[in-house]
A and B are shown apart, each in its own frame.
Chain A
Amino acid sequence: MNKPLRRIAIFCGFLILTLLIRDNWLQYVKADSLKEDPKNRRVLIARYAIPRGDIIVGGNPITGHAETTSGDFKFKRTYKDGAMWAPVTGFVSQAYGANQLESIEDGILSGTDDRLFFRNTLDMITGKDKEGGNVVTTLNAAAQKAAYAGLKKQGGKGAVAAIEPSTGKILALASFPSYDPSTIAGGSTSDEEAWKKLQKKNNPDDPMLNRALREVYPPGSTFKVVTAAAALEDGLYKTADEKTNSPDPWVMKGTTTKLPNEGNIPCENATLRVALQWSCNTVFGKIGSDLGNDKMLEEAKKFGFTEEQFTPVRTSASVFSDDMNPSQTALSSIGQFNTAATPLQMAMVASAVANDGTLMKPYMVDEVQTHNLDPLEKTTPEEMSKPLSAENAQILQSMMETVVEDGTGKKAQIEGAKVGGKTGTAQHGVENSENPYAWFISYAKLDDGSSPVAVAVVIEDDEAVRDDISGGGLAAPIAKSVMEAVIDSKK
């Protein structure tokens, strides 16, 4: 019986050998692809196993981390003043992934970025625990606070964007109503409930929408600044104080419709200064119509319209249409018809004017660094375009300053600084049935001629009485407090 026994022994050896080969296939040949398979939960477990790096504003982290008590993800994100900072940070959630800055800078924050390789290796050698790097933002805590507090006090939906004109640094990005990303950072059932409540289908206020970057509103009269810039650049009008060729009432070209002005204001053949001061629809509508669709579009594009901006968080593209007839161009040139802009876009308009015609690329990440603050990469300010010449920019500045000194924007005046601004009241809804948006864009200039801040504020308010809504009344005070906060923090 021994011969078959030996053969059975060989057979058993063959069984074990097959297992050994299979094991080598699994754990050697296929090991890496199995290990890094995104569906393999270990990838996420590793990601949440180390304390996430922080997002920093003015030297202080606005984020943190906490050890979770349940589940297999060790750390979860926490936020300080989460609702206020949500438009800056976005969220990172164990259950729902990440968005905006948390997502874009995830490599640094979660410690997997190649730029952290040296630090990570050093930590490994010295026996320290791995940690994510930090993202230092350009934001100004005081300005952000002023913006969010202003929106909250006002109570309606709205947004604020503020930029430093000379660099493009984003100083404030506020959106209201907002949400606290801390509530959805974990993976528990309470996070799930909070997430569900924040979804647009369950919450008509859509608190997770970043209105400062991702919502476009008809800019209304604030767009007249762009139209004025186009008129000056084209040479249609060369100064602020020459009479324009503007009948009042003005019948839009190709139609029999009169473009109305709001109230009884001195618009007939008004100078650009006066027209901006009183926000004359007839003057700027006719300028748009005279310049034509192409020239208006070209100027709008120079200010950043029609393109998404990457701050690095992506913004929605602001809209200025092409292929419009003269009357549509006229309406578009006073910020109606299809024209729509993000609050950041309108802040860029004010900032380009304040920066003597040069538009700086807006950005919110100043520096990325290792967890022990060694810098890895610093953003250098970058010129994006030159929508208007320095002379024309100064003409436009003087016009906008008149608006604040002696026009619709008086509520934005700041003692010790020169403020230029423009109000806007944009109609929307079918037959203008819904409450208008109240806009205010402005910049502040200090005595030394430098301009530390440009800001745009938009408020959509269902509850306010229609007549009360005007950029000057609702939005200008918020813009003022943001500008003051920036100026004060410079001192």
Chain B
Amino acid sequence: MSSTTNSPTHHTSTIGAIGAPSRRNTELALLVFAVVIPVFAYANVGLAINDEVPAGLLSYGIGLGLLAGIGHLAVRKFAPYADPLLLPLATLLNGLGLVAIWRLDQSKLLQSLPTYITAAPRQLLYTALGIALFVVVLIFLKDHRVLQRYTYISMFVALVLLLLPLVPGLGADVFGAKIWIRVPGLGSVQPGEFAKIVLAVFFAGYLMVKRDALALASRRFMGLYLPRGRDLGPILVVWAMSILILIFETDLGTSLLFFGMFVIMLYVATERTSWIVFGLLMSAVGAVGVASFESHIQQRVDAWLDPMREYTLSQQGVWGHSEQAMQALWAFGSGGTLGTGWGQGHSELIRFAANSDFILATFGEELGLAGVMALLLLYALIVERGVRTALAARDPFGKLLAIGLSGAFALQVFVVAGGVMGLIPLTGMTMPFLAYGGSSVLANWALIGILMRISDTARRPAPAPAPNPDAEMTQVVRPS
């Protein structure tokens, strides 16, 4: 709530309507940087690869600038008190992602692969659609509390989204993980990205209603409040769902993301540490249990423990093994502290998914330790703004939704970056905004839109009270 401290009058509802800083000009200034930095990066790639400033530089700069400008104007009009950092941060990450994708598009090696598509123009289109969705969210979601009405519909939608990849004929198996669906005419869609938001809405609505029951009706045991048996129901259901995702969609990341998000929201809703303990225990049991019989998960774990062996197997042509993990580590190592510079690395050696799941490795090689740390801090800032929004929100539903979305965002960054850097086993998810992929870009712009709506509601000065006829009267009869 520090954002309101420079306006001490804000707390008194009578004269708070005027003077609270909207910070829109701060946002605009930051947006200029968020557009200019990727434009320079773009020029840099062109100079490094082709010895010339890329022909599309101007249109790219104008395009990104226009998109950011539209976003900014929409915020000015429909969410004037929203957090000023979120839009510039998302724009910067999205712009840098576009540059990296375009850079990988130039690679002759990737062009020679049968899976190659010119990804940058598509990503630009997705970005435009993403920002459009962001604007739509700001226009039509006048108050985030409206979402509360759709709690149970959200649950249903989320379940459908999560189960879609399992529908025969619709689901697509991409390198083991079944988290994609193929929509004719649209291409591949990753419904999990959207399910993330919809589930957060459901959890927030549900927990807001049930929080008292979950928090208070419990027995104390060994310093922990144990929930009643019947209150364990919801967490068991979500846990079972995560396990099912893990088994049938064989994706550790998606499963971890949803369960982690639920535990975070449950903890915030009930303020009971016991839920965290339960959550950790259950995820450990689930992960170890599934890993003991699901060969795909086992293989991911083996590849994580010994990436060099995995690489050797893939070079020997053993089916189902991938060189990507080791190639990503080499890319990071070869980048060193300062990196090779844009366009001068060889992250294309990762080949498949170099511009999506593994895009962080390109940053690692070309921008080095310094660049990756900066990127991670940008993500940390997004999460921080999200948590701050949750703190500032005045209603429990808003608090829960904001923390759910930011917690899921943080978990996703951790799971993906940790996977690519060999900290944890690889999963099939992508870095928000950086990675190539329409679902990811659209869903994350929607996520930012919702967070900004909540922060706008939170920071918006309370409306001036209706004139009090009594007060008028009193003044009239004042003795003279």
- State which of A5, A26, A45 has its C-beta within 8 Å of the C-beta of B403: A5
Contacts of B418 in A (CB 8 A): 18-19, 22
Contact, CB under 8 Å: B334 / A23: no
Decide: B376 and A34 in contact? CB cutoff 8 A: no
**Is A118 part of the contact surface with B, judged by Cβ < 8 Å?**
no
In the assembled complex, the CB of A187 is this many whole angstroms from the nearest CB of chain B, namely 12
Query: Within 8 Å CB of A23, what residues of B?
Result: 332, 364, 369, 372-373, 376, 421
Return A321 CB to nearest CB of chain B, in Å. Answer: 44
In the complex, are the beta carbons of A15 and B334 less than 8 A apart? Answer: no
Contacting chain A: which of B19-27, B185-193, B378-386?
Answer: B378-386
Q: Tell me if A104 counts as interface (CB < 8 A to partner B).
A: no
Mark out the residues of chain B between 61 and 120 whose CB falls within 8 Å of any chain A CB in the assembled complex.
Answer: 108-109, 112
**Is the Cβ of B332 less than 8 Å from the Cβ of A27?**
yes
Number of interface residues of B (CB under 8 A): 51
Interchain CB contact (< 8 A) of A19 among B334, B348, B423: B423
The answer, yes or no, to whether B390 is at the interface (CB within 8 Å) is yes
Q: State whether A8 and B267 are in contact (beta carbons under 8 Å apart), knowing that A1-B399, A16-B379 are contacts in the complex.
A: yes
Chain B minimum-CB-distance residue to A16:
B380
Q: Is B268 in contact with chain A by the CB < 8 A criterion?
A: yes
Chain B 421-441: CB-based contact to A (< 8 A → 1; otherwise 0): 111000000000000000000
Within 8 A of A (CB), among B385-419: 387, 390-391, 396, 399-400, 403, 406-407, 410-411, 413-414, 417-418
Assess A15 versus B109: contact at CB under 8 Å? Given A22-B423, A42-B346. no
Within 8 A of B (CB), among A71-86: 71-72
B396 with A31: CB separation less than 8 A: no
Residues of A within 8 A of B411 (CB): 15
The answer on a CB contact under 8 Å between A12 and B387 is yes
Given known A-B contacts A1-B269, A20-B376, A23-B369, A34 and B414 have beta carbons under 8 A apart: no
Decide yes or no whether B17 CB sits under 8 A from chain A: no
Whether a CB of chain B sits under 8 angstroms from the CB of A197 is no
- For the complex formed, measure the closest distance between the CB of B327 and the CB atoms of chain A, giving whole angstroms: 8
Min distance, Cβ B315 to any Cβ of chain A, angstroms: 9
Distance, CA A26 to CA B376, complexed state (A): 15
Cβ of A4 < 8 Å from any Cβ of B? yes
Q: Which of B333, B369, B391 contacts A2 (CB 8 A)?
A: B391
| Distance of B474 from chain A, by nearest CB (Å) | 39
The answer to whether A42 touches B414, judged by C-beta atoms less than 8 angstroms apart, is no
- Tell me whether B422 and A26 are in contact (CB under 8 A): yes
Report if A121 contacts B (CB, 8 A): no
Q: Complex: how many Å from CA A268 to CA B94?
A: 99
By a CB distance below 8 angstroms, the chain A residues around B377 are 16
* Residues on the A chain within 8 Å of B349, using CB: 41-42, 72
Interface of A is mostly: helix
Set of chain B residues within 8 Å of A33, measured between Cβ atoms: 333
When the two chains form their complex, are residues B108 and A34 in contact, meaning their CB atoms are under 8 A apart?
Answer: no
With contacts A9-B384, A23-B372 taken as known, whether A34 is within 8 angstroms of B417 at the C-beta atoms is no
Residues of A within 8 A of B336 (CB): 27-28, 31-32, 35
Smallest beta-carbon distance A1→chain B, Å: 5
User: Is A37 on the interface with B (CB-CB < 8 A)?
Assistant: yes
Whether a CB of chain A sits under 8 angstroms from the CB of B262 is no
Q: Which residues of A contact B387 (CB under 8 A)?
A: 5, 8-9, 12
Q: Name the one of A6, A16, A70 contacting B410, with C-beta atoms under 8 angstroms.
A: A16
| Minimum C-beta distance from B276 to chain A (A) | 9
Residues of B within 8 A of A42 (CB): 330, 334, 346, 349
Distance to closest chain B CB from A401 (angstroms): 61
Chain A interface (Cβ < 8 Å from any Cβ of B): 1-9, 11-13, 15-16, 18-20, 22-24, 26-28, 30-35, 37, 39-42, 45, 70-72
**Other CB < 8 Å A-B pairs besides A19-B376, A35-B334, 6 of them?**
A16-B380, A26-B329, A28-B337, A28-B369, A37-B330, A39-B311
A selection of 19 A-B contacts at a CB cut-off of 8 Å is A2-B391, A5-B399, A8-B387, A9-B384, A12-B406, A13-B380, A15-B414, A18-B414, A19-B376, A22-B418, A23-B376, A27-B335, A27-B369, A34-B334, A35-B334, A35-B336, A42-B334, A70-B112, A72-B348
